[in-house]
Structure 1
């Protein structure tokens, strides 16, 4: 497995909330299937899996939108960390957990590319980890800018990846990760 020997798969905010059409049109409609493929191989390889669940306001009653999507639902024994802000490292014990497990490399997937995924990836690199960000196992939504212009989800996604690649992460696709697992 080479570079992925001391690696963890981090699934960020893969929650039912993002199926709400109010978010608008999204890129990578099959991102969750790619995440599930990686998760299956990760489990088969007995590598560490960590699910991150975003709950902005824990005082509100449970809502099914908070739940992790069934396609990547945690198995018993898999770590689930609850966060309340964009970074998976703030207000959680993620860094300590990874260091205690001897993890050096993070393979990061999830929603949304330009928000929580990007924030977590940047912070992972700043903390000294070796992040790989999986381009086709992340996604985002179209947005209207502060100046009223509509930006397509594909463009936002691509620019987020461009700003991360080579400085904060190695951007790779699902097949590339699978090849590293077999190497």
Structure 2
């Protein structure tokens, strides 16, 4: 089971079924804000939906295809971060993330993404980590920018959000760049 202590107040822990009720509560509490950028919010209507998500992430882990972790702050779940999937042939992955409303602005996501990239590059020995964010999602885009990812381009109409397409900015980080870029 993956657990990564970031500091005295913050840790990342792979999601398991014991987290279902807390994660569902966080999702519902933050749904109006999250809905703007996350299409799954409208499909999270019951605890069973969150339980199904966690079960799928446990299957993802058992298939050696990454995992999803809860971001825990002061022993409360604050958000989620995870590998979408791992391409072992090309030694690459992408990361997705979100925070509940009450935890925005505390630096939790920057620390969490940094920890996930460290883990991907140093422990899993991956060569490339990618983050995609909607062009207008400035808060999400700020994370890879703060961590000195390279902005690699824009994928037009990359995601369907309820009633329209949004373009995605693609950010990439290579293993050969990671430790050097953090020092700058």
Q: TM-score range by the shorter chain?
A: 0.3 to 0.5
TM-score, normalised to structure 1, is 0.35
More strand by proportion, 1 or 2?
2
TM-score if structure 2 supplies the norm length? 0.35
